[in-house]
Structure 1
Amino acid sequence: MTDPVVSMALVTGLLGSGHCIGMCGGLVAGLGISRQGERGGLPFHLLYHTGRVTTYILIGIIVGWIGSTMELTRTMHGASRILLVLSDLFVILLGLGTAGLFSYWNLNRLEFPGPMKIMAGLLSRFRSLPPTLSALPLGLLMGWLPCGFLYAMVMTAAQSGHPLSGGAIMAAFGLGTTPALLGFGTAAHWLSNKARLWMVRGAGLMVAAIGLLHLIKHLRMFYGA
């Protein structure tokens, strides 16, 4: 894929991983230990993140396909363009807010705890298994964990208007977040709270840049460029 948005999604994941460490680094580390105290080690984490990124790709393919259907009918043509522009503006505002320009518009505020109640029962069942058996299904499940940056990337994948492009965007984002979570034990020591804050702000600027890139593209549609 030569689409610059895919590369930007990868960078967003890398920078946003500072937020991932604070939000779910400890959770991931804890999932690697079964109730019987058995540790999964590196194999667990590799399988876990394989499952998580696979879920991201599946989400990207689905929303990319949904985005593609918006252009299939002439009656929806004008309405879809307006909707795309409005979503671009929303993404830009969220990105700039996360970067520190606003106090309320912030991707961190989009993390809803409700779905965790649904996940809790499945998590409990998986954790009764040996880590090597639970790793992949846990990753597939936790790929749905509510996260503001994930929502922004899902919107970006939907705007791509193609299942493969949507999947590629989500794959790049997922891979970008993986190194920091894989090395959480080490990264947690050398990444200060201030460092993570600046990484999150950088990720916010990248999200805003993606929104701006799409805004320019979608505005050109109105003029047939």
Structure 2
Amino acid sequence: MIDPLYTLALATGLFGSGHCIGMCGGLVAALSLSAEGRRGGIVFHLLYNAGRILTYTLVGLLVGWLGSAIAYTDIFSGATRVILVASDLFVIAVGLGSAGLFARLNLMKLEFSAPMQALGGAIGSLRRLPPALAALPLGLVMGLLPCGFFYAMAITAAQSASPVTGGVTLFAFGLGTLPALFFFGSAAHWLGTRARSWMIRIAGILVALMGAVNLLRHLRMMGLW
């Protein structure tokens, strides 16, 4: 049986990609052009998205491993329970905030400019390369861009206390973002601001559901449900 978290992560990526288009779609479109103005084409977007999803998966493996290292250390057993429940409640809260329940608490509030500034130099250097050569490393770098939905998925991956589960969760999330970003040129044409806003709301609900699923699991694990 497929873990429902994988399905929710895939759906979150699909609907959360409305935010991705607004956040970095224009930048990717610009970077897919060579200095002579020629587009990188399908090869560029295939390699770019492969790099981005690979970064997501590696981050999932890493945080899942870190979660397992903490979860299986006896000294952290009591604190781990508190952290798990608190992080579940946090994910639920920011998910519902992104869905429009709260005005000041949402996933977009988790996005900071500092990581983008740190990555700016690398992106600028890649801009000088031909699109076909820049695509894969650009995807690897852009996978680290500050994104509230990505952070929520990373928290969920860490809670799994399993590198494999963490990696698959973030792989599924990245796979969900693929359709809109791969077909960005046409998607941007029909995905207006209102449509993207509703996509983000639905994605927020899905994030909250992921938090609720994990909360129930953790309460059962503690014998409290």
Give TM-score scaled by structure 1 length. Answer: 0.97
Amino acid in structure 2 at the alignment position of 1:5: L
Structure 2 counterpart of 1:213: 213
Could you tell me how far apart the structure 2 residues matched to 1:125 and 1:142 are?
A: 13
The reply on whether 1:123 has 2:123 as its aligned counterpart is: yes
Amino acid in structure 2 at the alignment position of 1:198: W
The reply on whether 1:107 has 2:107 as its aligned counterpart is: yes
Amino acid in structure 2 at the alignment position of 1:68: S
Could you tell me how far apart the structure 2 residues matched to 1:152 and 1:46 are?
A: 25
The reply on whether 1:135 has 2:135 as its aligned counterpart is: yes
Structure 2 counterpart of 1:70: 70
Residues 35, 114 of structure 1: alpha-carbon distance in 2 compared, 3 angstrom cutoff: farther
Q: How does 1:45-194 map to 2 (within 5 A)?
A: 45-194=45-194
- Where 1:70 maps in the other structure, the secondary structure is helix
Structure 1 residue 36, shift from structure 2 partner: 3.7
Number of aligned positions between the proteins = 225
The reply on whether 1:30 has 2:60 as its aligned counterpart is: no
Structure 1 residue 224, shift from structure 2 partner: 7.2
Amino acid in structure 1 at the alignment position of 2:24: C
**CA deviation digits over 1:121-177, x for unaligned, max 9?**
111211111110110000001100000000000001101110010000000000100
Amino acid in structure 2 at the alignment position of 1:126: L
- Where 2:14 maps in the other structure, the secondary structure is helix
Q: Which runs of 5+ in 1 are unaligned?
A: none
Kept in 2, the 8 Å contact 1:38–1:130? The answer is no
Structure 2 counterpart of 1:14: 14
Could you tell me how far apart the structure 2 residues matched to 1:89 and 1:17 are?
A: 24
Q: Which runs of 5+ in 2 are unaligned?
A: none
Residues 114, 35 of structure 1: alpha-carbon distance in 2 compared, 3 angstrom cutoff: farther
Amino acid in structure 2 at the alignment position of 1:209: L
What is the root-mean-square deviation in Å for CA atoms of aligned residues?
1.2
Identity of aligned residues (%): 58
Runs of 4+ in 1 over 3 A off after TM superposition: none
**CA deviation digits over 1:108-128, x for unaligned, max 9?**
111111112221111121111
- Where 1:223 maps in the other structure, the secondary structure is coil
Structure 2 counterpart of 1:40: 40
